[in-house]
Amino acid sequence: MENETFKTLITGKHRLLDLHLRETFEYRDLVYLFVKRDFIAMYKQTVLGPLWAVIQPLLTTVVFTIVFGNLAKLTTADAPGDHALPGFLFYMCGNICWAFFSGVVQATSNTFLNNRSTMGKVYYPRLVTPVATAFSRLISFGIQMALFFLIQVFFLVRGGTGIRVTPALLLLPVLVLHLMVLSVGCGIVVSSVTTKYRDLAMLVGFGLQLWQYGSPIAYGLQLVPDAMLPVYMMNPVTPIITTFRYAVFGFGYFNLGYYLASWGISLLIFFIGLVLFSRIERTFMDTI
């Protein structure tokens, strides 16, 4: 027994920055299994199955186009200029990004609650579950983006639009990673807090709804007064959405300073979430 070496040592003593990132990577096979489980469970016992990933953004976009575009007539311009942009594409782009962000936040915020039976019996890095949640939502996001680009090609072929393909399109992988970092960070912060204060979980959906209207999803950035723009851009979601539209449409608003600030805020939230998650995971079975 004295000569035995152990790969994993489970102990109640942890350092403040003991985040288990390397160990989480070593459990990537388990991440894959959880991604498969979550994606199947999401559409299990539904008539249309994964088609809901296509139907939901379409229906939401139709409602936004009618209410905010035709009735309220809110601007869809992010920057000054006479660029022809179909309102349907504008709203669909924002809704797909927001659906991915809010979906990951909501699912990740229930990490401890939804996996408490497994976590109480088997050891694995607890960070595996929020990472798997993000990747499972990424599959639906990929399906929705494929549909978005098909509709965009239709508008390009039909003509009468200012959309063009530019090198900014190469920013898409970075923007998706940015969304994942921010959403997982927010989700694990909420999951860490709600293990002890369960009633805060009730505010997640309401808070996300308010956050959505505080982000340029239903309207263009030109609706925001210039005096309020610096404050408004401190919302880390805003630079992501505007840069995303800039990348896929070839015009719009892009400010490197605000975008880098958004990355800084996102990484700070993610780091705070990891620290809280690392501390809570030691005792959550006693409080959940």
> Which of 179, 199, 200, 180 is CA-nearest to residue 190?
200
Collapsing DSSP to helix, strand or coil, 19 comes out as coil
In angstroms, the Cα distances linking 51 to 46, 54, 153 are 10, 5, 21
Question: Which pLDDT belongs to residue 19?
Answer: 60
- Residue 48's pLDDT is 66
pTM of the model: 0.87
Q: Quote the pLDDT of residue 15.
A: 58
Q: How many CB atoms lie within 10 A of CB 148?
A: 18
CA distance 55 to 57: 6
In sequence order, the 6+-apart residues with CB closer than 8 A to the CB of 67 are: none
The 8-class DSSP code of residue 109 comes to T
- Which DSSP symbol is given to 16? T
Alpha helices in 65-171 (DSSP H): 87-108, 111-114, 116-119, 128-158
pLDDT at 82: 65
pLDDT per position in the chain (288 positions), as tens? 455 555 555 555 555 556 666 777 777 888 888 888 877 777 776 666 667 778 888 899 999 999 998 899 898 889 887 677 889 999 999 999 999 999 999 888 877 777 766 766 777 777 888 888 888 889 889 989 999 999 999 999 888 788 888 999 999 999 999 999 999 999 888 888 877 776 676 788 888 999 999 999 999 999 999 999 999 999 999 999 999 999 999 999 999 999 999 999 999 999 998 888 777 766 655 555
Q: How far apart are CA 219 and CA 224, in angstroms?
A: 9
